[in-house]
Copies of this chain bind each other. A is one copy, B any other.
Amino acid sequence: MSNSKTPLPGNAVIGQSGGPTAVINQSLVGVVEGLHAAPGFTGKILGARHAIDGMMAGDFLDLTDWQQDRLDRLAGTPSSGLGSSRHKPSADDVKRITKYLEEHDIRYFFYIGGNDSSDTCRIVAETAAADGYEMHAFHVPKTVDNDLVLNDHTPGFGSAAKFVAQAIMGDDLDNRSLKGVKIDVIMGRHAGFLTAASVLGRRAGTDDGPHLVYVPEAAFDVVKFTQDVERTMDRFGRCLIAVSEGIHDADGTPMAAKLAEMQGHHVEKDAHGNIQLSGTGALGDFLAQAVKDYMGHKTRVRADTFGYLQRSFAGVASEVDQQEARLAGRKAAELATSGIQHGSVAIQRVPGDTYGVEYNRIELTDVAAKTKHLPAEWIVNANDIGQGFVDYALPLVGELPVVERL
């Protein structure tokens, strides 16, 4: 690894990949600010429109001369300002990308995204290196799923968790007011962190909901589920349930896939082989029907699927998450311009009584295509979340609304 202290001549490109978050533009602006602050960096700062798609088409937006007020407004805007992509580049695609990068004299490549994105970043970096083209490539973490290894947590999670916590606090008050069974389906394909965030506004030792929480880390069984609901109804006269879109049975088959098959639907998959989970109310409606079938049609049963609001709602973000996303972007720019060739920025918590984090470089290969899961000790009886998670997650979310329950 070369470690020249003078930045390379040439330009920088930034891409935003995968699902949007409330703070992915903070990271974009953080990279821009980090490049402006880098001694000796005098190149252009380009944004690739729709990530890898823009890089394959030479579709770039020049961000070099953006003033601070516009950058600040962009940073506070949810979703990926440059546009995103779920395209998984083929070997030929990567060759086209590196051709464009060389043509535009791109010497710094920043890619903001999840573990699929860090893998794309690695492939582009390796292809450029094999070409003998010197380019520094950095991945900036982002995912509401919070499932990147070696990271204490990821930018985007805190804000999505805040949305979920506030939504569930409100829905618990709604369910108190008009009693019955309420099922809320929350994002999370393999990791239950976001669904676990449903408990963050719950007062311990009270009848506050959610009363049942199901995450992908524990096998899901419909019969046990309906029994859990019945027991909760007997106890509280109401039942608020938070359930991950990614729940699966003991064989590992996602409920969403089983369901689509049962209903004779086409199962839609993305370029990475993931089946469609979000953007449909089918899982919630299926679970509601299962409860009605078991408990009788007199029981009031409702299901909501929080959907894309969790990642893109305008006006609800965690301040800690916003700051960390910005600093993760700046750190990537600092590392890349200080001569380090590639890596991913990991947010790692500093042990101690007060909350604090460090931004450390890890290898791209360490984060690519791996998934972090909710620790088993935070899952209670396969249908609830314990205090360990609350202690972990509250500092990431910040203050929640104060409500008065009668």
Chain A residues within 8 Å of B, Cβ to Cβ: 16, 19-20, 47, 50, 61, 70, 73-74, 76-86, 166-167, 169-171, 173-174, 176-179, 182, 201, 266, 268, 278-282, 284-285, 288, 297, 301-309, 311-316, 400-406
**A314 and B403 contact, CB distance less than 8 A:** yes
Given A79-B173, A166-B314, A403-B314, the answer on whether A281 and B303 have CB atoms closer than 8 Å is yes
Given A178-B86, A314-B400, A406-B61, the answer on whether A173 and B305 have CB atoms closer than 8 Å is no
A84 to B173, CA, bound (A): 11
A401 to B308, CA, bound (A): 18
**B285 and A282 contact, CB distance less than 8 A:** yes
Given A266-B297, A285-B282, the answer on whether A79 and B170 have CB atoms closer than 8 Å is yes
With a CB–CB cut-off of 8 A, which chain B residues contact A303? 279-281
**A20 and B309 contact, CB distance less than 8 A:** no
**A316 and B314 contact, CB distance less than 8 A:** no
Q: Give which listed residue, B86, B302, B309, contacts A171 with CB less than 8 A.
A: B309
A401 to B76, CA, bound (A): 9
Shortest C-beta distance, A45 to chain B (Å), equals: 13
**B83 and A314 contact, CB distance less than 8 A:** no
Q: Give which listed residue, B50, B174, B179, B280, contacts A281 with CB less than 8 A.
A: B280
Shortest C-beta distance, A21 to chain B (Å), equals: 10
Shortest C-beta distance, A56 to chain B (Å), equals: 16
A74 to B402, CA, bound (A): 9
**A166 and B313 contact, CB distance less than 8 A:** yes
A76 to B400, CA, bound (A): 13
**A174 and B79 contact, CB distance less than 8 A:** yes
Quickly give the copy total for this chain: 2
Among residues of B, the one whose C-beta sits closest to the C-beta of A298 is B268
Among residues of B, the one whose C-beta sits closest to the C-beta of A51 is B177
**A309 and B304 contact, CB distance less than 8 A:** yes
Among residues of B, the one whose C-beta sits closest to the C-beta of A302 is B279
Among residues of B, the one whose C-beta sits closest to the C-beta of A317 is B401
27 A-B residue pairs with CB within 8 Å: A19-B178, A74-B406, A76-B401, A79-B174, A79-B176, A81-B406, A83-B179, A84-B178, A167-B309, A167-B314, A169-B314, A170-B309, A170-B312, A170-B315, A171-B312, A173-B312, A279-B301, A279-B303, A279-B304, A280-B285, A280-B302, A280-B303, A282-B285, A285-B285, A302-B307, A302-B308, A315-B400
**A73 and B279 contact, CB distance less than 8 A:** no
Q: A170-B312, A280-B302 are known contacts; what are 13 more A-B pairs with Cβ within 8 Å?
A: A20-B178, A73-B404, A74-B404, A76-B403, A79-B170, A166-B315, A170-B309, A170-B314, A171-B308, A173-B312, A173-B314, A280-B285, A304-B307
Scoring A82, A169, A177, A404 by chain B CB atoms within 10 A of each residue's CB, the highest score goes to A177
A61 to B85, CA, bound (A): 55
Scoring A61, A167, A297 by chain B CB atoms within 10 A of each residue's CB, the highest score goes to A167
Shortest C-beta distance, A308 to chain B (Å), equals: 5
A316 to B317, CA, bound (A): 12
**A288 and B280 contact, CB distance less than 8 A:** yes
Shortest C-beta distance, A219 to chain B (Å), equals: 24
**B173 and A402 contact, CB distance less than 8 A:** no
